[in-house]
Structure 1
């Protein structure tokens, strides 16, 4: 093995020369290992779909952002490193106040782990971030550096939204399902009682719906339900709630609406339904609805009181000839 050693490592060289060379080779090995470690860190940072960042609180300067910044924000990292407002201006306008207030909380708490807000990337797409931050101040008097990790949770938020939609929406009509409607209606009732504001409640039932199913089939009946629901959603005001609570039965709650104003909405809905036209083969037909309408009184102690009156009024409308609105 000795004949393969370079001359400087042969026994004829002074011991200190060999030691120097060995030290040099060791140093070169350390440099290679450090380079491999840096490459590993760089590779890991590139693969993480989250922005690691550091921010100088006093100077309002972004000291560092990881490579994911350019992927998520769609902007060069050099811009945000030069001007913190590049990050601030990308925050969705409705979320800016929360994002800034929650960031400032880190000075009091030392860590803030419940920050979720939206940004608009360079392409105008809305992205959701979960942006956790921490104080990195080693001792009193040192400058305050805030470090954090901003994870892109857009897909998670979209999935949550879809699950929420499935849990609260009637699949056929895309209006509120029974459970969700009554949750919203009870909240509206409680608020009306607490605030002393008016509230109206409406029940609607499609007249002779069984005959439609028997004559034209359930697929045709489904189309009728869908178009009735579309009419209801089109007529109601912002803040009103409309839902399918039974087979051919729908309900609406009108916060801040007295009996007279609610009747105008119910009449408009009645006219919209009467304008609908359906066809099956060469046959055309129309549908009508019976509505029961009531308003909150001082004697009402729960939503059930309004529901019972509206239900009784709706069945009176049925008995009195259908296609009309009856007050309860």
Structure 2
């Protein structure tokens, strides 16, 4: 009897080899899935318009910075990873002290979520950042303090806020303070003067015969007059003085730290500069004059309203006395 060798079959591998092949296939699948996850994570980081960062507090070393850093700061990430001073050098000089001090607060608070400061990007543009930071509680090394954070570019938000603030505080026609903003600022100046016992002078200015200007030359020409009066006022007043249009053809000014005698000299200069203005309409040339009322703070003044009332009375006295003059009340 002849013994036949069993025929080998590709499906009859030893069990150990089959298990090894299955394990390899599983591992390859895991690697593929891991690669997909890494690609997805990398894609997400690329799309986030905020800088994610990690910082070793003791070594003063940036451990990680996301791709948005190069878009927002305009600088290579590898330079920041090599030298933390790259971050410091990019901060707007006036904001550097605050940026460093608020970052250090994370050591006490554990998280700081209200940091806003400016940077200068590689092209010289000023950008606003909202930079939140937290202490990483999951570090394996208890002696290693890692701070993580997220810096978001809020430049556009700040621009819109600035425009809204300007609209809320500025007279659209003359680009000077509107009535509400002027009196808010004047009230603050009044309270400082009362508290510190320093002089303060209030001025009211009214354009003489403004209705006649509108009736004769038209409202557009009247607006032109208002704009030039406002420009003259802003040019003549000192830095720190307040100036605004408080209604119609009426303007007001507050001179902190200024006695009525000194303020009268400023008002006289303002009077002369306004008299030099010339306007033309249909080949007709005309000028304008103003009446002004001045008053200074006294010990009996308990509110800004009393100064306003005296300045108003003085201004109308100037009107009654022939206009184009200054009266101290």
- TM-score bin, normalised by smaller chain: over 0.9
In the TM superposition, what is the alpha-carbon distance from 1:10 to its structure 2 partner? 4.9
SS at match of 1:245: strand
Partner of 1:293: 294
2:148 match: secondary structure: strand
Structure 1 residue 245 corresponds to structure 2 residue 246: yes
Structure 2 residue 116 is the aligned partner of structure 1 residue 116: yes
1:209 and 1:248 in contact (8 A); partners too:
yes
Distance of 2:242 and 2:29 partners within structure 1 = 71
* Counterpart position of 1:159: 160
Deviations 1:95-114 (A, max 9, x none): 11111111110000100011
Cα distance per residue 1:259-305 (max 9 Å; x no partner): 12211111111111111111112111111111101111111000001
Task: State the TM-score, normalizing by the size of structure 1.
Answer: 0.95
For 1:37-84, what per-residue CA distance to the aligned partner results, in whole angstroms no more than 9, with x for missing partners?
Answer: 111111111111110011111111111110111111111111111111
Classify the secondary structure of the residue corresponding to 1:180.
helix
- TM-score scaled by structure 2? 0.95
CA offset digits 1:84-136 (Å, max 9, x no partner): 11111111111111111111100001000110000111111110000000111
**Structure 1 residues 172-220: Cα deviation after superposition (integer angstroms, max 9, x where no partner):** 1111110110000001000110111111111000000001100111111
* SS of match in other structure, 2:247: coil
Number of aligned pairs? 320
Q: Tell me, yes or no, if the aligned pair for 1:137 and 1:143 is still in contact at 8 Å.
A: no
Counterpart in 2 of 1:198?
A: 199
Alpha-carbon distance, 1:14 to partner: 2.1
Mark the runs of 5 or more structure 2 residues left unpaired by the alignment: 1-8
Q: Which residue of 2 aligns with 1:49?
A: 49
**5+ long unaligned stretches in structure 1:** 1-8
Query: Does the 8 Å contact 1:90/1:119 carry over to 2?
Result: yes
Q: Which has more radius of gyration? A: 2
Is 1:211 paired with 2:217? no
In structure 2, the residue matched to 1:255 is 256
The CA RMSD measured in Å over matched residues stands at 1.3
| Separation (CA, whole Å) in 2 of partners of 1:281 and 1:44 | 65
Report the Cα distance in structure 2 between the residues aligned to 1:272 and 1:78, rounded to whole angstroms: 59
